[in-house]
Structure 1
Amino acid sequence: MLPPLTQSFRTEPWQLRYLFDLGFQGWLVHIGVVLLTGSLLVGANPGAAWPFFWTGVMLVLSVTMAALSKAHSTASPHSDYEYIRAGWGHTILTTLVGLTWGYGAIVVSLRSDFNLLAIYSLALGGTALGAVSSQHGVPRSAFVSIWTSVPLLAAAHVMEARSPAMGVMVLLYALILSMLTVRMHRFLATNYNLAQSLDGKVVELTKTSSELVKAREEAEDANQAKSRFLAQASHDLRQPIHAIGLLTASLKDTRLSREQRQMVDSIESSVDSVTSLFGSLLDISRLDVGGVTPNPVPLDLGAFLSQVAAQNRELAAKSGCGLSLVHSAAWVKTDGNLLFTMVQNVLGNAFKYAPGSRVLIGPRRIGDKLALQICDTGPGIDSAQIEAVFSEFYRLESAAAGGTVEGMGLGLAIVRGLGDLLDLEVRMASVPGRGTSVVIAGLETAKPEKVPPARKGRAHPLSGKRICVIDDDETVRKAAAGLLERWGCIVEHGAGVGDIAGACDAILADLQLGDGASGLDAIDAIRRRSGRAIPAVILTGHSDVDTREKIAAANLPVLSKPVRPAELRAVLTRLCLGL
């Protein structure tokens, strides 16, 4: 706890410590002045005893004061009571020193000439000024030193000169020294108060800083805990969704009545909705904890846009939208997966909020860079809400969509977050009643890369291919096996590498297997056993950076659960054909 601020002329322990810190050296100088003055007095008064008496008394007092100051300096801390007691001892000894100086002045005026008195006056005046400089921290000591010696010096001059004028001048000198003491003490007290106030602010800032650091650490711990929870929840929740998706795809390949097909379509639509919502939550969480790392590579923009259009034809048809594409031969350098997520979210919003409209996607040049523009002819957005739609969990109502649309209001927040990550600017313009335009600007152009020509495959490239499925979840494993068999594959499946006995053309493995086993290890074991690098793909429900880095180090393609059947078929086809 800080000591209270000092008040004028109230002696505080800090003032006494300051007095004793300055006093030791001051009293050493005083001893030197006493010795010089005493030698002059002895020389000017041969045979007289009083100069020796004066010198002896002054030396005893000065040495005592020096010892007192040394013993109570800050190098030798004491209690407040001890400082106060020593302070009064200092004042008493100062009184004796002052009276001794005054006594000497009177004796010199009576027994010596004016010249010796003048020299003695210089010595006394100098020590009085020295008392002000070293004792202003405790004004009573400085005042006692001045007013016990200088008035007697004034009296000595009056006695020697037989005129009060010299005495008045000496008293004026004492008054000036007293005023100087007051001013120096006030300056010292003000400086101390400011220092104490500053120390208090530093303590408060230090405390606040510590609280902020603690709060930041707690927030970081909470983020890490959230990240760990999401990583585990990601895997656990994706598993059943993944299984439902595979089973639904298998069911669609069977002979169904019209009513049954409508029910399967509804299940598939619900799975897609849950997948989309779940993906949005994971994406925004990964952005919050810095779990997304861009990997910019040259990207064929024309092929990219064709893929986007192909994967959204069915969704556009369901919402009654017409999806058009502006083709491009340009190449850009960016992370294609993250850019795909951005474009997909913008298109998803257009299909949800502007059903029945025309949607156009294509490139445009802005300066020396390229941009992607997605336009729709829907109801549009009021200009006051344009910035708000990029906030998390913000949803608009759409009359065209029948009120509040499905979703959590995270799509455009993810678009803005990924844009910041890729150094891309996301802009929106909208005119109510005419439509909305979203521009993703800042794409760096890149040199085209050579693309190997596609091999001509059979009508059913997976037919007859032997696929190994490794997953510790029996429901997921059987669902995947059933779907692959409907595609004409020969499937062998098991919970681990020990359940796989035969040879295969491709491996489909879950990353996290039971008992701490890894799909990466299972793939490596099957490859070593067969003596060749069998094409393989990893399925995972984890989206953390460490997991992605492990898979990337193994140089294997990865599919995130829940996997769309069309996406799984495309990847397996590419692997089996060696593309």
Structure 2
Amino acid sequence: MHFSPEAAMTKATATDSSPQSAESPPSEVEQFAAVAAPIWPAYVIAASICLWLAWRTLPPAYLAGWAAVYAVFMSSRGLIFRHYHSLTHLERIAGEPLWKRRFTLVMLVYGVLQSLLIAVAIPWLPLGSNFLMTWLIFFSCVLVTTVMPLSDVNLRVYIGVTLVPTSVAWLFVQMDYSWLISLGLVAAVAVFLKGGRARLASMGQTWRLATQLAESNALLRRSNVSRTRMVMEASHDLRQPAHALGMMVERLRHATPGPDFEARVGDIESGIFSLSDMLNELMEFSRLDLGEYVPRLEPVNLALMLQEIDRRFFAVAQHKGLAWSVRSLPVWVDSDPWLLRRVINNLVSNALKYTSAGGVEIGCIREGDEVTVFVEDTGPGIAPEHHARVFIEYVRLHNSEADEKGMGIGLAFARRATDALGHHLRLKSAIGKGTRMSVGMHLRAPPAGLPVASPDGKGATTPVLAGRLVLLLENDPMLRKSMGEVLASWEMKVQAFGSVEALDASLRLSGATVPDIILVDLHLDGDANGLQAVARIRAYFGSTSDGHHDGRLQALPIPAILLTGDLSPGIEEQASAMQARVAYKPLRPSRLKSMVGEEIAKATGLRCDDALIRRPGTGFKA
């Protein structure tokens, strides 16, 4: 795949930052500035009215000095707001605390200037002028409280330096009951503060909701861009193994039995596995990316999981001539076994892919209540400036050894999976010094009552598939035939049906036998559903013992595996509610064999781990 990390990084950066910057709602300071900046004419008109009312009462020199100071204030205020509006959104957000203090100071100076004119003039003015000036102060407080509250401090400062001096000034007015007006203004202080705080709380809630909406929109946009890139990359990458398979099949047409024939069959099998791995990787990343997979934490035997890793990758390391070491500890962790297995698989696969000489080591380190699984290789290493980029989907660093396979989403999946699990994914690497990837997890005590198989498999009972009856329900004739042949090659007895109607007809026949396991496709012909078929089969065999079957009543439901390529949310929950297991297509035969053995073992009480149905692992050291 010829994919530019630089282009991907540019796309990712633009996708991550631009939408957020464009869509994020204005902050409290930005809202204040948007409302307060354009109303400067109201400030000038109010000041002009106050000067006109006080012109014949206060000394002209005092009024001229006040007007000059007020003019300087308005000019400075204009420059401050102009500078603020010249900043970018990110610059405003970064300097928000500073700008909040500056605007609070602006309101303080404005309130003091109002008081120096109105509070000083009120005791000497006629009653009509007093009421008009008081109304101007009252209106300005209403404006600050309802339209442009900035902060609780701003409210207290402005209302305190305007209403309180005005209230005191009314005590000196030569008028009966002027003290009632003074008292009313003091009460107005409490009312304005309460109303302003309620307004601030409402604006804060609105801003938080708007922020969440903006973040959701940005996430949706990133997801759409990511999905588009996924389709583009997948269409390219998946064509390669498909094209190779076509060429291999054409070569096979003209091959004769012998070593060369077997080698070509092996090449086809390798191509199929490569195609299957890519599809699985895409499916798993999509489910995690869309939030359709909710991690289920449970006790995980780390030794057995690493044994499985050893069995899966030992042959790959041996084929490349690499040293291979797996060292484990008899510990349990809290994790989602499916996600954790995929994470470690991805780390080991990357290590083997990028290492051409030397070896790969997998091990465990216990520190207090945490255990760390590490994967260390002697590959080319990753430069420090590229450490963050390797976790971006579809980004692959240029490396000739690794350019043949993969889609560049393995480490991105590992990052998202470990974040979802609450684990710690760490990277340590340098050019020429190899790479060490590690996952830190919390330890837990072994669960009580569970049979524990030793890491090397000794002392465990191997479930016998030979002679077991499997009921297969698959509407695709080619897939039904091939699956039936694979199951038969495991010496299992197979009853295969293409429809629910054919199954019903068979069940009505005398001598029908309880199957040991049910394999069923989710989407059957018509409106038929695989889960409904499982319920019908279980109901039939568990309802009576009247001779229509062998008379066994199951303590547990008949084991069932639901085969599907459908990634719709809710399928796993529905299957889990029916105690059925979900297996996503494409599925390797070895994995299907393992799952069949596990489900039969659970139903019959045999002790089993995933490896015991396959060949014993080699190179594993507990």
Shorter chain as denominator, the TM-score bin is: 0.5 to 0.7
Tell me if structure 2 keeps the 8 A contact 1:396–1:404: no
Which amino acid is the alignment partner of residue 341 of structure 2?
F
Quote the residue 1:515 is aligned against: 526
User: Normalising by structure 1, what TM-score?
Assistant: 0.58
CA distance change for structure 1 residues 473 and 225 in 2, over 3 Å: closer, same or farther?
farther
Quote the residue 1:6 is aligned against: 41
Which amino acid is the alignment partner of residue 432 of structure 1?
I
Quote the residue 1:463 is aligned against: 466
Does 2:169 match 1:134?
no
Quote the residue 1:275 is aligned against: 276
Q: CA deviation at 1:440?
A: 0.7
Q: 1:472-513: CA deviations, max 9, x gaps?
A: 222222221121122223322223332221433321111222
**For residues 565 and 429 of structure 2, what CA distance do their matches in structure 1 show?**
37
Quote the residue 2:66 is aligned against: none
Larger radius of gyration: 1
Quote the residue 1:559 is aligned against: 583
CA distance change for structure 1 residues 217 and 392 in 2, over 3 Å: closer, same or farther?
closer
Does 2:484 match 1:481?
yes
Tell me if structure 2 keeps the 8 A contact 1:227–1:285: no
Does 2:420 match 1:421?
yes
Q: 1:510-535: CA deviations, max 9, x gaps?
A: 12223232212111211222234433
- After superposition, where does 1:20-419 map in structure 2 within 5 Å? 129-136=126-133, 257-399=258-400, 401=401, 404-419=403-418
Which amino acid is the alignment partner of residue 562 of structure 2?
I
**For residues 375 and 229 of structure 1, what CA distance do their matches in structure 2 show?**
34
Tell me if structure 1 keeps the 8 A contact 2:395–2:409: yes
Q: 1:287-338: CA deviations, max 9, x gaps?
A: 2222221212122221111111112223333443333211321222221211
Which amino acid is the alignment partner of residue 446 of structure 1?
A
CA distance change for structure 1 residues 332 and 206 in 2, over 3 Å: closer, same or farther?
closer
**For residues 344 and 290 of structure 1, what CA distance do their matches in structure 2 show?**
21
Q: CA deviation at 1:364?
A: 0.3
Tell me if structure 1 keeps the 8 A contact 2:369–2:442: no
Where structure 1 has 5 or more consecutive residues not aligned to the other structure, the ranges are: 20-124, 140-203, 231-237
Query: How large is the RMSD of aligned CA atoms in angstroms?
Result: 4.3
Quote the residue 2:99 is aligned against: none
Q: CA deviation at 1:562?
A: 1.1
Which amino acid is the alignment partner of residue 571 of structure 2?
T
**For residues 489 and 226 of structure 1, what CA distance do their matches in structure 2 show?**
47
Q: 1:142-163: CA deviations, max 9, x gaps?
A: xxxxxxxxxxxxxxxxxxxxxx
**For residues 228 and 528 of structure 2, what CA distance do their matches in structure 1 show?**
20
Q: 1:113-149: CA deviations, max 9, x gaps?
A: xxxxxxxxxxxx999521222345999xxxxxxxxxx
Tell me if structure 2 keeps the 8 A contact 1:300–1:448: no
Quote the residue 1:451 is aligned against: 451
Q: 1:161-213: CA deviations, max 9, x gaps?
A: xxxxxxxxxxxxxxxxxxxxxxxxxxxxxxxxxxxxxxxxxxx9999999877
Aligned residues: 389
**For residues 530 and 226 of structure 1, what CA distance do their matches in structure 2 show?**
50
Where structure 2 has 5 or more consecutive residues not aligned to the other structure, the ranges are: 1-33, 54-121, 137-202, 230-237, 454-458, 507-511, 543-552, 607-622
**For residues 560 and 138 of structure 1, what CA distance do their matches in structure 2 show?**
74
**For residues 541 and 267 of structure 1, what CA distance do their matches in structure 2 show?**
22
Q: CA deviation at 1:218?
A: 5.2
Give the secondary-structure state (helix, strand or coil) at the position aligned to 2:41. Answer: coil
Q: CA deviation at 1:343?
A: 0.3
**For residues 43 and 300 of structure 2, what CA distance do their matches in structure 1 show?**
78
Q: Which has the higher contact order (CA 8 A, sep 6+)?
A: 2
Which amino acid is the alignment partner of residue 557 of structure 1?
R
Q: 1:98-124: CA deviations, max 9, x gaps?
A: xxxxxxxxxxxxxxxxxxxxxxxxxxx
Which amino acid is the alignment partner of residue 451 of structure 2?
V
Tell me if structure 2 keeps the 8 A contact 1:319–1:352: no
Q: 1:209-242: CA deviations, max 9, x gaps?
A: 9987775565677799999999xxxxxxx9x99x
Does 2:586 match 1:571?
no
Q: 1:423-473: CA deviations, max 9, x gaps?
A: 111111124333211111133232354316777558xx3333322111222
- Identical counterparts, % of pairs: 27
Q: CA deviation at 1:342?
A: 0.7
Tell me if structure 2 keeps the 8 A contact 1:333–1:446: no
Q: 1:59-87: CA deviations, max 9, x gaps?
A: xxxxxxxxxxxxxxxxxxxxxxxxxxxxx
Which amino acid is the alignment partner of residue 563 of structure 2?
L
Quote the residue 1:441 is aligned against: 440
Give the secondary-structure state (helix, strand or coil) at the position aligned to 1:406. Answer: coil
Quote the residue 1:146 is aligned against: none
Q: CA deviation at 1:357?
A: 3.2
Tell me if structure 1 keeps the 8 A contact 2:334–2:443: yes
CA distance change for structure 1 residues 377 and 284 in 2, over 3 Å: closer, same or farther?
same
**For residues 135 and 598 of structure 2, what CA distance do their matches in structure 1 show?**
93
Quote the residue 1:526 is aligned against: 537
Give the secondary-structure state (helix, strand or coil) at the position aligned to 1:514. Answer: coil
Tell me if structure 2 keeps the 8 A contact 1:325–1:360: yes
Quote the residue 1:105 is aligned against: none
CA distance change for structure 1 residues 325 and 211 in 2, over 3 Å: closer, same or farther?
closer
Q: CA deviation at 1:339?
A: 0.8
**For residues 328 and 465 of structure 1, what CA distance do their matches in structure 2 show?**
35
Quote the residue 1:84 is aligned against: none
Q: CA deviation at 1:394?
A: 1.5
Q: CA deviation at 1:380?
A: 2.0
CA distance change for structure 1 residues 220 and 546 in 2, over 3 Å: closer, same or farther?
farther
**For residues 569 and 526 of structure 1, what CA distance do their matches in structure 2 show?**
22
Tell me if structure 1 keeps the 8 A contact 2:334–2:441: no
User: Normalising by structure 2, what TM-score?
Assistant: 0.54
Which amino acid is the alignment partner of residue 471 of structure 2?
C
Does 2:541 match 1:506?
no
Give the secondary-structure state (helix, strand or coil) at the position aligned to 1:290. Answer: coil
Q: 1:338-393: CA deviations, max 9, x gaps?
A: 11111000001011111343111111013331110111122222222222212222
